[in-house]
């Protein structure tokens, strides 16, 4: 095995000795004029560097006895294997991420020769997507027994910090609709506002999905594969009257990638000076409107999905709700129950007493 460090002397006899790193070309003074002392220091450096390499070679020999791929698997291999397990838009996202420049430092590095500092170097770019996908790749390699142990301990992974997201306001939505000249996009944005569905689900709606007698629209949620039936209000129902009764409602938008639809929407927002929103903001807006209107959470979850972050966020704390007084609700109960004895009212009983009587009945 070739030694990495060499002993050299600068100047004439009696000059100081230096240690040269053959890998980097860097020379470091050993602060001694004694050749014997200098040689011992260089030998120690070579031994300390040789032992880890020797251990790695021994480990490779043992691992190859059980799995011949250990000596050839790189992080690009992990990318390729994960992509094979994905389908649809999920596979497209992984293909795009596999071409990202942020993974170039480790792309062709062998898994068995990867150290924690290599992963930390990739994570230093600070992108949330890089952190998320590198975690998945690391866990995939461990689950496949391609790594003998975790390279980076779980606690040492930088926390994933998403940028703040907000709902699009009615005023912002109306501005976008007012200047949108393309009828297909205009209708698409309006349905996003009324249905709150994901952009892919709405873009792929068909005329046959609308049940006019029952005033509903039904579709299968692309992300989960679960069917959804949404009742339509008068305003939303009128939008469908201007759309094809058969086939794709949005022929162009359904043929492009989700990223392309998001880019087009972002361009329109930029022209209007609207910041901090995306197509996904329509889901947050729908959830917050539902919360404010007193829409039951279970219905909101059925519409947006039980695991929807928009529902959990809106119904947890984000939407502001004006809480009515209990007295108003008690009077409302009495009004809705005329069976209450009129003599009770004549006796001047309080709303609380009348409510109690209604409950007892």
Range with lowest mean pLDDT among 223-232, 248-257, 265-274, 312-321: 312-321
pTM value is 0.59
- Rounded to 5 degrees, what are φ and ψ at 17? -95, 150
> Is residue 36 situated within a structural domain?
yes
Same domain, residue pair 117 and 204: no
Residue 7: pLDDT over 70 = yes
Contact, 240 vs 217, CB < 8 A?
A: yes
Residue 348: pLDDT over 70 = no
Same domain, residue pair 42 and 136: no
Tell me the CATH number at 212.
1.10.443.10
> Is residue 285 situated within a structural domain?
no
> Is residue 35 situated within a structural domain?
yes
The pLDDT of residue 270 is 93
Contact, 78 vs 140, CB < 8 A?
A: yes
Domain that holds residue 25: 5-55
Same domain, residue pair 39 and 89: no
Report d(CA 21, CA 46) in Å as an integer: 10
Selected residue with higher pLDDT from 114 and 332? 114
Same domain, residue pair 96 and 130: yes
First to last CA, the chain: 94
Show Cβ contacts of residue 64 under 8 Å, excluding neighbours closer than 6 positions.
Answer: 70, 71
Nearest to 173 by CA among 193, 200, 202: 193
Mean pLDDT of 82-92: 89
Selected residue with higher pLDDT from 127 and 91? 91
Q: How confident is the model at residue 237 (pLDDT cuts 50, 70, 90)?
A: confident
What is the tally of structural domains in the chain? 4
> Is residue 180 situated within a structural domain?
yes
> Is residue 314 situated within a structural domain?
no
> Is residue 311 situated within a structural domain?
no
């Amino acid at each position: 095995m070739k030694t990495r460090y060499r002993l050299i002397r600068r100047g004439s006899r009696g000059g100081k000795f230096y240690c040269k790193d053959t890998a980097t070309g860097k020379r470091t003074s050993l602060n001694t004029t004694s050749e014997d002392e200098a040689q011992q220091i260089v030998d120690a450096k070579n031994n300390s560097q040789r032992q880890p390499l020797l251990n790695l070679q021994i480990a490779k020999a043992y691992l190859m006895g059980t799995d011949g791929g250990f000596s050839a698997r790189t992080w690009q291999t992990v990318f390729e294997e994960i992509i094979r397990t994905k389908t649809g838009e999920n596979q497209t996202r992984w293909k795009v991420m596999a071409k990202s420049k942020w993974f170039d430092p480790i792309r062709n590095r062998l898994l068995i020769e990867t150290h924690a500092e290599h992963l930390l170097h990739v994570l230093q770019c600070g992108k949330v997507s890089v952190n998320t996908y590198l975690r998945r790749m690391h866990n995939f390699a461990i689950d496949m027994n391609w790594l003998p142990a975790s390279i980076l301990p779980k606690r040492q992974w930088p926390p994933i910090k998403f940028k703040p997201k907000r709902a699009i306001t009615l005023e912002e939505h109306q501005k976008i609709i007012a200047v949108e000249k393309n009828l297909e996009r205009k209708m698409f944005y309006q349905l996003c506002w009324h249905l709150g569905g994901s952009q892919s689900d709405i873009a792929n709606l068909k005329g046959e999905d609308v049940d006019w007698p029952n005033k509903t629209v039904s579709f299968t949620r692309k992300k989960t594969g679960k069917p959804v039936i949404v009742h339509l209000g008068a305003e939303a129902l009128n939008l469908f009257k201007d759309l094809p009764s058969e086939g794709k409602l949005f022929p162009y938008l359904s043929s492009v990638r989700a990223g392309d639809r998001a880019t087009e929407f972002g361009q329109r927002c930029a022209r209007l000076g609207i910041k901090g929103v995306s197509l996904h903001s329509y889901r947050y807006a729908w959830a917050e409107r539902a919360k404010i209107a007193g829409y039951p959470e279970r219905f909101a979850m059925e519409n947006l999905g039980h695991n929807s972050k928009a529902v959990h966020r809106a119904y947890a704390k984000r939407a502001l709700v004006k809480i009515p007084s209990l007295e108003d609700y008690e009077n409302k109960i009495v009004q809705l129950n005329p069976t209450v004895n009129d003599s009770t009212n004549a006796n001047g009983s309080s709303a609380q007493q009348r409510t109690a009587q209604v409950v007892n009945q």
